[in-house]
Amino acid sequence: MRCDRLWRNARLATMAGPSGAGDGSAAMGFIEDGLLAARDGRILYAGPAADAPAFDAAEEVDCAGRWITPGLIDCHTHILHGGNRAHEFELRLEGASYEEIARAGGGIVSTMRATREASEDELVASALPRVDALMAEGVTTLEVKSGYGLDTANELKMLRAARRLGAERPLHIATTFLGAHALPPEYAGDADAYMALVIDEMLPAVQREGLADAVDAFCEGIGFSAGQTERLFAAAVHAGLPVKLHAEQLSNQHGAAMAARHGALSADHLEYLDEAGIAAMAQAETVATLLPGAFYFMRETRLPPIAALREAGVPIALATDCNPGTSPLTSLLLTLNMGATLFHLTVAECLAGVTRNAARALGLADEIGTLEAGKRCDLAIWDIERPAELVYRIGANPLHARIWSGQ
């Protein structure tokens, strides 16, 4: 059988183990003497060398026993933004809280100002070093949210800039419209009016240009209520866009259950999630995207209900939440370590969280996230003896090669 490229002598973590395979090598789909073949940017075969058909390959790579995993997926980022918030970090070190800073006009609104001032070119240029840091660790798909424009022109500018990241780099970009991230000062005291603008003007404009793959909101005391968010979600679903939600990060607003009722791809953060929220997510198969970088940086002490999520069979994803205010983090490998150390996830859960379940959180489970025939050939090839090393080490980057769409 003809193929473009063949990787031999590889150990594979397909991340496609049978469900119910437990928590170890079976769940991660380990294959010791593995072979992977690609054609036209797709995986043609990934499995034991002994079972592979005879391939006629244009190019062959000897992996010398290295491990291949699916290319990593960072499924929740605010990587595009103007400026940074190092000064607010200093204020927090002196005792100010995130909410106090936000209510005093800092926080998301200070990044909004810097983002409005930046041109589309400048936004792209300032994000690229952060994007490059993630790619250097094997990231092949990146979700990018808007949410620092907070008016129609600037939200569109952010989403156009987000799409351009995917033209500037060999990387799949999934864009998320987060117009309902914070209340801009011109709408102070009137969140309902701002939400109406998001629904009646921004969302249709975003749809006309095909700029968003999903719609998100910040459902929080300092963000939008579950009722306000529900109006947006009804409009998004009506427009054919999937939804996801920043839910239960700082308090329990019952946002995750509301999101699940709208078939949300994911509910994210979830430190204050309750039993009813977990049950609703399990029923809707909504992914729980956990963001240990924000938990760490905010010195949060309340853990997301990991054991209950696991018990209920809610799929768990992990992401950087890369943003200037609560998670200035550009390492998905460090995020894996935090998932294990701070959130008590197993190695299998951590790795599924940045592959298979991250793909589900983006609605891309048929395209990416596992090493299976038919999926895009996005790979990370690692200089490691066992996949646990990806979770175990702090500050190491054992990436040997990154393959995107077979290249």
* Residues making contact with ligand DI6 (CB under 6 A): 78, 107-108, 111, 181, 218, 246, 249, 294, 321, 323-326
From the list ligand DI6, Fe ion, none, which binds 151 (C-beta under 5 to 8 Å, kind-based)? none
**Closest approach of Cβ 155 to ligand DI6, in Å?**
15
The Cα–Cα gap between 153 and 184 comes to 13
**Closest approach of Cβ 327 to Fe ion, in Å?**
7
From the list Fe ion, ligand DI6, none, which binds 398 (C-beta under 5 to 8 Å, kind-based)? none
CA 401 to chain centre: 21
**Closest approach of Cβ 323 to ligand DI6, in Å?**
4
From the list Fe ion, ligand DI6, none, which binds 157 (C-beta under 5 to 8 Å, kind-based)? none
The three state secondary structure string of 139-165 is EEEEEEECCCCCCHHHHHHHHHHHHHH
Place of tokens 């006009």: 105
Amino acid identity of 194? Answer: Y
Tokens of 247: 């839910």
User: Which residue, 11 or 78, has its beta carbon nearer to ligand DI6?
Assistant: 78
User: Which residue, 85 or 356, has its beta carbon nearer to ligand DI6?
Assistant: 85
Of 137, 321, 349, 378, which lies in the binding site for Fe ion, with binding defined by CB under 5 A? 321
User: Which residue, 73 or 109, has its beta carbon nearer to ligand DI6?
Assistant: 109
User: Which residue, 84 or 341, has its beta carbon nearer to ligand DI6?
Assistant: 84
User: Which residue, 35 or 329, has its beta carbon nearer to Fe ion?
Assistant: 329
Residue 170's CB is within 10 A of a number of other CB atoms, namely 13
Question: Which value, to the nearest 10 degrees, does the dihedral of the CA atoms of residues 288, 146, 87, 303 take?
Answer: -10
β-pairing verdict for 67-70 and 2-13:
parallel
User: Which residue, 66 or 145, has its beta carbon nearer to Fe ion?
Assistant: 145
β-pairing verdict for 30-39 and 2-13:
antiparallel
From the list ligand DI6, Fe ion, none, which binds 141 (C-beta under 5 to 8 Å, kind-based)? none
The Cα–Cα gap between 333 and 399 comes to 10
Rounded to a whole number of angstroms, the distance between the first and last alpha carbons of the chain is 19
Q: Where do contacts with Fe ion occur on this chain (CB under 5 A)?
A: 321
